[in-house]
């Protein structure tokens, strides 16, 4: 459609002059909200097309670079080392959250691999492409990333490298062997090291992507040799051609950093800095230390073990690659480590926890029972998988996902309650001693409480709570631990009645063997008791601090309201079971401070000290193996006792500095620091 443009600048100016200052002339449908996202032209930060932001590329494609002779296809050893190191830096920058277009794909050689004449360079480029493809697939399929973690877009580029993994590894090995022969200069050796590295990396990533449980152990040595390679490479970075800054623009042979700028969305221009080569090596070493968790997953056999494993892993705030690899392997082909079904894991765990009669083999012919049983196991498995998936996300996103998970778990709980009722009536109709009151629901309750405790714990890990909030956080934690004990007690009752039922069955049926299963109810109860006492101790300590005036700066804030804060903090816990702690029953610190005369904080501290002493008593009785976790706990409890004794004796009684909670020794339970 041909357009006939007529200049109306004069008319326009005259017309706009008649508008009132500050008024806008718009259509009815126009919205300021949408207009907020308009790109402001001639603003360097927003306008990607401005002269100063304009594509300062010398070439617009790799083929153009080749035809203009700007892309050397025969490279000296020094140059190959430089390109390899720069590619590695680009890879690390990509893993750090930037786009492929601005990192790995700025290497012109990757766009034109078949034309490369030097086999070493060709091998490295193919390996880099293939590694990028596999990394993209692993992270993409695991879906443990958010937009701030990783960019999976490949911008239409084909990362396939035209060769299978095995072939690339073989060509690299050939090249290593060829160059390894005869006398070698330090540069030759450095290049061989890099060829080795890329070969090992590609092999490792391929093993993870096409995972087989039998390969797990071998991953340990793979990670170790990768680490050694990186160490060797970091020593010889200087041997490669370096990036030369010319006219303020980074120049590197074979790289054109702005070549893909036009592919990026027309949002504000983002110029990224590629990581320094030495930094990339240390970044990779950190990634490898997270990946070291990968072979350990083979030692986990129970569901509770799995949950503990991922909770411990998540605490490290690991990188997106390790989180994705771990989840990929854990969930391979929708089976646990590619082999066992998740329902089976859940079944084992529930059997250990509450020994439901419905699991007994004598009922395996009852269709209705089996239907209910299968549905319960399937639904529970989905929730548990969701929990593990959430733990594999970055920490900042976990709380919101846990809130959604709690809603799902709440639905699961009501389902489990319903199933318990049905099964109880069904089984007790044939045998009045059959007890299935809480068999399924107590396990789901246990899961719910665990997730809630994790949710509160994340608040500490993410530094979300101000110090005076510790009071209600520990109030709620104490409440949750009492519910936890309830669920374990219920489970224990079910187990005992189940065992009695089993005994009678064995008597009746000689063929049926009685299977003895180790239960850890006692240990669970003791740990819950320990945590409950600790929470009570902190509650009393903070009440003491409030009375003493150490929290005045927080309690006196003009628009602060503890009850509103309480409601908002625990809004995520608004589910049916456990019944949310009633905000009106919460004793605010302000109230306590006004009610308690000054000087009486000593009795509060004494109460706290009593609770901690009681903790010590319970821990002495703990009969499970004492690991490092136990000794950390002991140490922290001791330090808190010492601190409280000092406070009772009047130490720092005049100080109005707020106490600090230190989680450095024991990640679950802090010790108080007063100054």
Partner 1 sequence: KQWYQRRVRGILNMTSALAGADFLKGLLNKLLRIEITDGRIMVGSFLCTDRDRNLIIGGTAEYWNTVEGEPRLLGLVMIPGKHIVSISVDTSDSGVASLLKAYHKAK
* Near partner 1 by CB under 8 A: residue from 220, 262, 368, 673: 262
Total residues binding partner 1 (CB under 8 A): 40
Long-range contacts of 161-165 (CB under 8 A, 24+ apart): 161/113, 161/125, 161/126, 161/127, 161/129, 161/130, 161/133, 162/113, 162/114, 162/126, 163/126, 163/130, 165/130, 165/134, 165/202, 165/203, 165/206
CA angle 82, 158, 134 (to 5 degrees): 75
Alpha-carbon span 640 to 108, nearest angstrom: 61
* Near partner 1 by CB under 8 A: residue from 26, 317, 433, 509: 26
Q: How far is the CB of 146 from partner 1 (least distance, A)?
A: 25
Q: What is the dihedral angle through the alpha carbons of 508, 511, 516, 521, rounded to the nearest 10 degrees?
A: -40
Q: Does 624 bind partner 1 (CB under 8 A)?
A: no
Q: Which stretch binds partner 1 (CB under 8 A): 22-30, 128-136, 514-522, 586-594?
A: 22-30
Q: Which stretch binds partner 1 (CB under 8 A): 24-32, 397-405, 469-477, 564-572?
A: 24-32
User: Minimal CA–CA distance to 291: which of 321, 264, 316, 271?
Assistant: 321
For residue 671, list its beta bridge partners.
662
User: How many CA atoms, within 13 angstroms, populate the side-chain half-sphere of residue 522?
Assistant: 8
Q: In the numeric block, which tokens belong to residue 256? A: 């054109």
User: Based on the number of CB atoms within 10 Å of its own CB, is 457 exposed (0-12), middle (13-18) or buried (19 or more)?
Assistant: middle
Rank residues 266 and 302 by Cβ distance to partner 1 and give the closer one.
266
Q: Does 17 bind partner 1 (CB under 8 A)?
A: yes
Q: How far is the CB of 23 from partner 1 (least distance, A)?
A: 7
Q: How far is the CB of 70 from partner 1 (least distance, A)?
A: 23
Q: How far is the CB of 266 from partner 1 (least distance, A)?
A: 5
Q: Does 628 bind partner 1 (CB under 8 A)?
A: no
Q: Does 156 bind partner 1 (CB under 8 A)?
A: no
Q: How far is the CB of 269 from partner 1 (least distance, A)?
A: 12
Q: Does 33 bind partner 1 (CB under 8 A)?
A: no
What's CA 93's distance to the chain center, in Å? 20
CA angle 519, 525, 528 (to 5 degrees): 135
Alpha-carbon span 118 to 179, nearest angstrom: 13
User: Minimal CA–CA distance to 394: which of 308, 317, 310?
Assistant: 317
Rank residues 18 and 584 by Cβ distance to partner 1 and give the closer one.
18
Q: How far is the CB of 11 from partner 1 (least distance, A)?
A: 6
Q: Does 675 bind partner 1 (CB under 8 A)?
A: no
Q: Which stretch binds partner 1 (CB under 8 A): 7-15, 80-88, 297-305, 368-376?
A: 7-15
Rank residues 23 and 432 by Cβ distance to partner 1 and give the closer one.
23
User: Minimal CA–CA distance to 423: which of 503, 498, 492?
Assistant: 498
Rank residues 1 and 334 by Cβ distance to partner 1 and give the closer one.
1
Q: How far is the CB of 1 from partner 1 (least distance, A)?
A: 7
Rank residues 23 and 558 by Cβ distance to partner 1 and give the closer one.
23
Q: In the numeric block, which tokens belong to residue 167? A: 């072939």
Rank residues 40 and 147 by Cβ distance to partner 1 and give the closer one.
40
Rank residues 53 and 414 by Cβ distance to partner 1 and give the closer one.
53
Binding mask 37-56 for partner 1 (x = CB under 8 A): xxxxxx------xxx-----
Pairing label, strands 671-673, 660-662 = antiparallel
Q: Which stretch binds partner 1 (CB under 8 A): 14-22, 310-318, 415-423, 639-647?
A: 14-22
Alpha-carbon span 528 to 493, nearest angstrom: 17
Rank residues 24 and 334 by Cβ distance to partner 1 and give the closer one.
24
CB 408 within 8 A of CB 383: yes
Binding mask 264-283 for partner 1 (x = CB under 8 A): --x-----------------
Rank residues 50 and 642 by Cβ distance to partner 1 and give the closer one.
50
Alpha-carbon span 23 to 117, nearest angstrom: 65
CB 406 within 8 A of CB 454: no
Binding site for partner 1 (CB under 8 A): 1-9, 11-27, 30, 34-35, 37-42, 49-51, 262, 266
């Amino acid at each position: 459609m041909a357009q006939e443009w007529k200049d109306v600048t004069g008319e326009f100016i005259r017309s706009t002059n008649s508008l009132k200052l500050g008024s806008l002339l718009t259509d009815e449908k126009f919205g300021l909200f949408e207009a907020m996202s308009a790109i402001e032209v001639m603003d360097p930060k927003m306008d990607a097309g401005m002269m100063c932001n304009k594509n300062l590329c010398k070439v617009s494609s790799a083929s153009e670079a080749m035809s203009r002779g700007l892309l050397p296809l025969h490279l000296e050893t020094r140059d190959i080392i430089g390109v390899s190191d720069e590619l590695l830096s680009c890879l690390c920058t990509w893993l750090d959250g930037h786009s492929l277009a601005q990192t790995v794909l700025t290497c012109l050689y990757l766009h034109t691999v078949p034309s490369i004449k030097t086999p070493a360079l060709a091998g490295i480029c193919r390996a880099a492409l293939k590694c990028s493809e596999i990394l993209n697939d692993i992270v993409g399929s695991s879906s443990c990333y958010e937009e701030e973690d990783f960019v999976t877009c490949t911008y239409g580029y084909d990362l396939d490298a035209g060769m299978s993994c095995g072939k690339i590894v073989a060509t690299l090995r050939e090249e290593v062997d060829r160059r390894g022969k005869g006398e070698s200069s330090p540069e030759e050796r450095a290049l061989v090291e890099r060829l080795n590295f890329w070969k090992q990396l590609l092999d490792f990533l391929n093993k993870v992507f096409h995972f087989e449980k039998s390969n797990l152990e071998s991953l340990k040595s793979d990670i170790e040799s990768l680490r050694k390679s990186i160490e060797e490479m970091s020593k010889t970075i200087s041997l490669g051609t370096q990036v030369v800054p010319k006219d303020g623009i980074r120049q590197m042979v074979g790289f054109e950093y702005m070549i893909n700028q036009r592919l990026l969305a027309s949002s504000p221009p983002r110029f990224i800095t590629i990581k320094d080569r030495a930094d990339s090596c240390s970044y990779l070493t950190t990634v490898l230390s997270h990946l070291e968790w990968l072979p350990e997953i083979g030692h986990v056999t129970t569901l509770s073990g799995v949950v503990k494993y991922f909770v411990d892993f998540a605490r490290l705030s690991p990188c997106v690659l390790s989180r994705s690899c771990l989840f990929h392997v854990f969930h391979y082909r929708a089976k646990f480590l590619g082999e066992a079904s998740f329902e089976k894991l859940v079944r084992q765990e529930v059997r250990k926890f509450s020994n439901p009669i419905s699991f007994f083999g004598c009922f395996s012919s009852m269709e209705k029972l089996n239907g209910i049983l299968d549905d319960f196991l399937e639904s529970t498995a989905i929730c548990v998988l969701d929990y593990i998936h959430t733990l594999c996300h970055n920490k900042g996103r976990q709380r919101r996902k846990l809130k959604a998970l709690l809603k799902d778990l709440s639905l699961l709980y009501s389902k489990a309650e319903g199933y318990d009722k049905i099964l109880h009536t069904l089984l007790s109709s044939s045998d009045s001693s059959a007890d299935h009151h809480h068999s399924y629901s107590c396990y789901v309750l246990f899961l719910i409480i665990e997730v809630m405790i994790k949710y509160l714990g994340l608040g500490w890990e993410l530094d979300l709570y101000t110090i005076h909030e510790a009071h209600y956080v520990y109030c709620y934690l104490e409440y949750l631990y009492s519910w936890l004990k309830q669920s374990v007690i219920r489970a224990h009752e079910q187990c005992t009645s189940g065992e009695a039922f089993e005994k009678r069955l064995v008597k009746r049926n000689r063929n049926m063997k009685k299977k003895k299963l180790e239960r850890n109810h006692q240990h669970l109860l003791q740990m819950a008791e320990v945590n409950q006492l600790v929470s009570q101790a902190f509650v009393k300590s903070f009440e003491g601090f409030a009375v003493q005036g150490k929290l005045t700066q927080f309690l006196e804030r003009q628009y602060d309201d503890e009850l509103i804060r309480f409601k908002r903090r625990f809004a995520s816990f608004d589910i049916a079971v456990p019944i949310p702690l009633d905000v009106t029953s919460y004793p605010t610190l302000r109230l306590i401070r006004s009610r308690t005369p000054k000087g009486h904080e000593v009795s509060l501290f004494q109460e706290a000290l009593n609770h901690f002493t009681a903790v010590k008593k319970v821990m002495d009785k703990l009969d499970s193996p004492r690991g490092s976790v136990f000794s950390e706990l002991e140490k922290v409890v001791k330090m808190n006792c010492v601190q409280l004794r000092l406070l009772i004796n009047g130490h720092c009684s005049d100080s109005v500095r707020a106490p600090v909670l230190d989680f450095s020794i024991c990640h679950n339970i802090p010790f108080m620091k007063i100054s």
